[in-house]
Structure 1
Amino acid sequence: MDTSSNSTGPSNGCTVNDQMKPFTIFYTFIFLIGLVGSLLALWAFIRSSKAKKCMNVYLINLLVSDFLLTLALPFKIAVDLEVAPWRLKIFHCQVSAVLIYISLYASIIFLAFVSADRYLQITQSSRLYRIQEVGFARMMSVVVWALVLFVMVPNMAIPIKDIPEKTLVTCAEFKQELGLHWHMLTNFLCMAIFLNASSAVLVSNGFVLKRLWGSRDSSGEERANARQATRNIAVVTLAYMVCFVPYHSVRTPYVFTQNKVITSCAVSRHLFLAKESTLLLAVMHLCLDPILYFYLSHSFRQRLTEAFQPRRNTFTSARRPGQPQEQVTEGEIEDSFQSLQCKTGKQEITL
């Protein structure tokens, strides 16, 4: 896996990272939009008292990975603009570039857990009840972070070598032999993570879509809800594929240029530009995740509604003669309705 915003060519005379400035414009927009969305999500989750659900556990961990990416992007932008001092370039190669990939693969795994949990909510299987508990979600979150850090942190910890200062430098040039070997191993481990997570996303969303397709003969509001949910799940699946599949399609041949298996300078330059273009798509998930928070987390959606609609509608609950009226909020009604659906075996699908 590449742990830099730059690349190395097959020989010292091949420069492949001299066209990075146009990319910084897009990275700056992604950084600003992602920062606003992540801060808004953080505010909503902090103010929420109803976070005891598996879905919210995975979404909060997804938010943590988004913040790691947000912290790392300014260093990448500075290096790609060629305004970073030498020490900052070294810091980027050892720390901030690795944080980008820690965030990337943590996000991919947690998106897979979100898709799987959504399917389990719909099936309401009693045999799978244990893995829908909050304790299990927290345990799996710890396992995910431990796995990703085990794969990535050695790229930070393995000592680098001193090289003469120059304008265009590649992170591979800093690596010693051990670092290059771990670099190659990391790429294959991350590819395995991506393939397994993608299988979980596609299978889970496929089963959900099949379930929704079975509701096409329903009538009235139920059929409309199923149609809307089908569109939402299809869009989410398509967004996942667009963000992550192109990058992983060019990763392996690109890594071969770093390890000098591919020695053609022209091929190396084309693969580098393909890698940077597809990495930009992968980083774009930072802007899309807040949309997932809105659709998947009732507490997040409720806080946003309260923020932009200060005067919440209230409903008068049914009461017997002589009993005082009780004000019930929209959120409480929605929670009660969802509980009733679980009891009757009907699950409302919002995504």
Structure 2
Amino acid sequence: MLGRPVVNSCSEKAACGHNSVMSRNSSINDNVTLSCPSESIDQFRNQVYSTVYSIITVFGLVGNGFALLVLIRTFRQRSAFHIYMLNLAVADLLCVCTLPLRVFYYINKGHWTLGDFLCRVSSYALYVNLYGSIFFMTAMSCTRFIAIVFPVQNLRLVNPRKACIVCICIWVFICSTSSPFLMSGEYVDKETKKTKCFEPPKGSGGQSKLKVLNYFSLVMGFILPFLIILICYAGIIRTLLMGSNGMNRRKTTNTKAIRMIVIVTLVFLVSFMPYHIQRTIHLHLLSRGDVSCEEQVYMQKSVVVTLCLAASNTCFDPLLYFFSGENFRNRLSTLRKASVNSSTLPRHSHKTIPQNVEDQDKLKCCNGPQDSLTTADSYTNPQE
């Protein structure tokens, strides 16, 4: 979402390059010279990043790989919500596959030896995933909102084909706005003689431009999507509470939906909000020119922590699939039964099943009034 100078100088780049903060401050105010010990922040950064990214890699690969397998194997049952989950899992896996490169960099004490191309791709993948996750979760929230609050219009407004168009638009927007990460790769630090990646070159200035780009990313990539999610969830909760006097089955479905909303909101707050708040504060501190040594160390460490939280969304997303409703668990059960039946049933004994959710809806409409109650209930309490 941000260009490379913005995120790099305000987020991981500031944390990875301990001298970058001091060099930027000196470029803003030549009269202020601060010398802070770099060993402590270097050790903290290398240990935390290498440890946390290793954990995220393991859980992210297992969780998203398994989710992607289930979603692909049950693609015949696809729906709009299924399309968004599939794209979110792909974005997570693309990011997780580049994290071992970061682990190697920090284990190697900030010395990059894997080439310029992988440096660019590693920086690019993390932020494509970061903002891609936000936009895909926003699309999932809007889909759930329409299905529950406007069940009659749901069939007209939401379908797999339109979901594919939305996903294409999201990918194009995220990939294009994050493309500046591909324009700047590795470089050799003149003082340490080390090849650097994920860190800004010293004295790279441009604070006014950084602020403008940061606020654009903050508003378009976080605040606006988060407001949309809050509005959608408020409408969903209101609709569910108004219909809370229905059958026990519906009460159970409502409870699960509200529980899912709480989990999604908490994940959004824990993973994305601290990073965006800290990045904005850090950028303002860089422009002051009178930052104390203690403030520098504190902000650099907070960058490390908040960026780890942001990257951890790749581990949280599989939980979203599981708690998004019964449908994902049903897909898993269907896949398991299909695997067993494929080894026991004759090849010629099979039933013709609907190709997707739209076909199921058409069959329900053709079945007559006896299915109307079930159909209406599925609209009001969608399983995905």
Q: State the TM-score, normalizing by the size of structure 2.
A: 0.74
Change (3 A) 1:279 1:65: same
Partner secondary structure for residue 237 of structure 1: helix
Shift of residue 183, structure 1, vs aligned partner? 5.4
State whether structure 2 residue 374 is matched by structure 1 residue 341.
Answer: yes
Task: Give percent identity, aligned residues only.
Answer: 23
Structure 1, unaligned runs of 5 or more = 313-325
Partner of 1:2: 7
Q: Deviations over 1:224-247 (max 9, x none)?
A: 332232222222222221221111
CA contact (8 A) 2:111 2:194 kept: no
Shift of residue 101, structure 1, vs aligned partner? 1.0
Distance 1:263 1:195 in 2: 28
Change (3 A) 1:293 1:260: same
Partner of 1:153: 179
**Residue pairs, 1:4-153, within 5 angstroms:** 4=12, 6-7=16-17, 8-11=20-23, 13-14=35-36, 15=38, 16-20=41-45, 21-50=47-76, 52-83=78-109, 85-88=111-114, 94-126=120-152, 130-153=156-179
Q: State the TM-score, normalizing by the size of structure 1.
A: 0.80
Shift of residue 114, structure 1, vs aligned partner? 0.4
Partner of 1:322: none
For structure 1, which segment, 111-120 or 93-102, has the greater mean C-alpha deviation from structure 2 after superposition?
A: 93-102
Distance 1:154 1:221 in 2: 51
CA contact (8 A) 1:18 1:168 kept: no
CA contact (8 A) 1:37 1:290 kept: yes
Distance 2:91 2:112 in 1: 27
CA contact (8 A) 2:123 2:181 kept: no
CA contact (8 A) 2:56 2:315 kept: yes
Distance 2:94 2:81 in 1: 20
Distance 2:249 2:160 in 1: 32
State whether structure 2 residue 272 is matched by structure 1 residue 244.
Answer: yes
CA contact (8 A) 1:55 1:297 kept: no
Shift of residue 195, structure 1, vs aligned partner? 0.6
Change (3 A) 1:341 1:259: farther
State whether structure 2 residue 216 is matched by structure 1 residue 189.
Answer: yes
Distance 2:186 2:305 in 1: 27
Partner secondary structure for residue 50 of structure 1: helix
CA contact (8 A) 1:172 1:180 kept: no
Partner secondary structure for residue 19 of structure 1: helix
CA contact (8 A) 2:146 2:154 kept: yes
Distance 1:188 1:81 in 2: 33
Q: Deviations over 1:240-274 (max 9, x none)?
A: 21221111121112234556756433212211211
Amino acid at match of 1:132: V
Distance 1:338 1:196 in 2: 40
Amino acid at match of 1:71: C
Change (3 A) 1:242 1:256: same
Aligned-residue RMSD, C-alpha: 3.7
Partner secondary structure for residue 243 of structure 2: coil
Change (3 A) 1:87 1:174: farther
Change (3 A) 1:103 1:91: same
Change (3 A) 1:290 1:190: same
Distance 1:110 1:45 in 2: 16
Amino acid at match of 2:7: D
Q: Deviations over 1:151-177 (max 9, x none)?
A: 211122157765435459574543785
Q: Taking CA–CA contacts closer than 8 Å with sequence separation of 6 or more, which of the two structures ends up with the larger relative contact order?
A: 2
Question: Matched residue pairs, number?
Answer: 336
Distance 1:95 1:262 in 2: 35
Distance 2:287 2:195 in 1: 18
CA contact (8 A) 1:152 1:186 kept: no
Partner of 2:309: 281
Distance 1:71 1:181 in 2: 34
Distance 2:90 2:97 in 1: 11
Q: Deviations over 1:119-147 (max 9, x none)?
A: 11112355565541333222222221222
For structure 1, which segment, 1-10 or 163-172, has the greater mean C-alpha deviation from structure 2 after superposition?
A: 163-172
Structure 2, unaligned runs of 5 or more = 1-5, 27-34, 342-350, 365-369
Runs of at least 4 residues of structure 1 off by over 6 A?
178-182, 334-339
